Amino acid sequence: MENITNELHVIFGTGPVGMTLAAQLRATGKHVRLVNRSGKGQAPGGAELMAGDALQSEVVRKLCQGAAVVYHCANVPYEQQLDIIPRLQKSIIEGVAPTGARLIVTDTLYMYGETHGKVMKETTPYTATTRKGQMRAKVAQSYLAAHREGKVRIALGRSADFFGPRVLNSVLGDRVFPAAQAGKSIQLIGNLDLPHCYSYIEDVAKGLMTLGEHDEALGRAWHVPVVDPIVTQRDMTEMIGKMLGKPVHILALPKLAIQSLGLFSPSMHEFVEMFYQYTEPQIVDSSDIEQAFGLHPTPLDEAIRSTIQWYQKRTSA
Q: Using one digit for the tens of pLDDT, what is the confidence trace for 261-297?
A: 999 999 999 999 999 999 999 999 999 999 999 999 9
Q: What is the pLDDT of residue 315?
A: 84
Instruction: Tell me the pairing of strands 185-189 and 48-51.
Output: unpaired
pLDDT of residue 4: 56
- Splitting the chain (317 residues) into consecutive groups of 10 residues, what average pLDDT does each group show? 72 98 97 96 93 98 98 95 98 98 98 98 98 98 98 98 96 95 94 98 99 98 97 96 94 93 92 96 98 97 98 87
- Distance of CA 10 to CAs 57, 83, 205, Å? 14, 24, 14
Cα–Cα distance for residue pair 60/95, rounded to 1 Å: 5
Question: Would you state the torsion angle of the CA atoms of residues 79, 252, 200, 115, taken in this order, to the nearest 10 degrees?
Answer: -70
- What is the predicted pLDDT for the residue at 1? 45
The predicted pLDDT at position 6 comes to 76
pLDDT at residue number 208 = 99
- In three-state secondary structure terms, 113 is coil
What's the pLDDT at 45?
87
Q: Give the pLDDT confidence score for residue 316 in this predicted structure.
A: 81
Which uninterrupted H or E stretch holds 136?
A: helix 131-148
Per the CB < 8 A criterion, the answer to whether 142 and 148 are in contact is: no
Q: Which residues pair with 49 in a beta bridge?
A: 34
Outline where 28-130 has alpha helix (H): 57-64, 81-96
Cα separation of 91 and 143, whole Å?
Answer: 12
CB 293 within 8 A of CB 217: yes
Burial of 20 (C-beta count, 10 Å sphere; 0-12/13-18/19+): buried
Helix, strand, coil in percent for the chain, rounding step 5: 45, 20, 40
Asked if 80 and 47 touch (Cβ cutoff 8 Å), the reply is no
- Whether omega for the bond prior to residue 16 falls within 30 degrees of 0, making it cis, is no
pLDDT over 90 for what percent of the chain? 96
The count of residues in the chain is 317
Non-local (6+) Cβ contacts of 314 within 8 A are none
* Count of beta carbons in the 10 Å neighbourhood of residue 125: 10
Q: Which domains does the chain have, with CATH numbers?
A: 8-160+198-226+284-298 (3.40.50.720)
